[in-house]
Amino acid sequence: MNWAHAHLIINHIPVLGVLGGILLLGYAIVRKSDEVTMLSFVLFALVALATIGVFVAGEEAEDMVKNLPGVTEAYIGNHEEIASVALVLTETLGLLCIVGLFLLRKRGAIPRWLVFTVLGTSLVAAVAVGFTAYLGGQIRHTEIRSDPASLAPAR
C-alpha cells in the first residue's frame, strides 16, 4: 500500500462520518435524547481526527499522482484548496463537540445553543467535504469533469 492508496481508502470517512453525525444529531434533537446527542458529538470528534489523516495522506499522494497522464496541477490545486477549507471546518466541528462533551461531564448537560451550533457547523462541513470529494474525483475520473475536452479520446 502507498499514500495514494491510503488516501483513497480513508477519504470516505469525513463524507460519510459527517453525514452520519448529522442524521444522529437530527434524531437526537427530535427525540430530545442527551445520549444520542453525546453519541453524535463523539462521532464528529472521531471524524475530525480521521480527517487529519485524510489530509496528510492526500498531501503525500499528490507527489505520487501529479505526473500521471491526465492529471493536471489545476485539478489537484482545486481539490487541495477546498480540502484545506474542509479540514478547518471539520476540525472546528470536532473542537465544538469536544467542548460539548467536556460540558456534559462537568455540568451534566450540553447547552442547547451548542447543539444547534454543532448542527449548523456540521451542515456547512458536509457541503465542504462533499465538494472536496467531488473535486478529488475529478483528478482521475475524467467522466465527472465538466470540461468536455477532458472527455475526448486520447490519440
Please indicate, yes or no, if residue 112 is contained in any of the structural domains: yes
Note whether residue 101 is domain-resident: yes
Is 103 domain-assigned?
Answer: yes
- Would 152 be classed as within a structural domain? no
Residue 66 DSSP code: T
Domain ranges, residue 75:
3-144
pLDDT value at residue 149: 53
**pTM as predicted:** 0.88
Specify if 90 maps to a domain.
yes
- pLDDT number for residue 62: 87
What pLDDT score was predicted for residue 127? 98
Q: What is the pLDDT of residues 36-61, one digit of tens each?
A: 999 999 999 999 999 999 999 998 88
Return the pLDDT at 102. Answer: 97
| Digit-coded pLDDT (tens) for 62-106 | 888 888 887 888 889 999 999 999 999 999 999 999 999 999 999
Please tell me the total count of domains within the chain: 1
**Please, what is the average pLDDT of the chain?**
91
Has residue 129 got a pLDDT over 60? yes
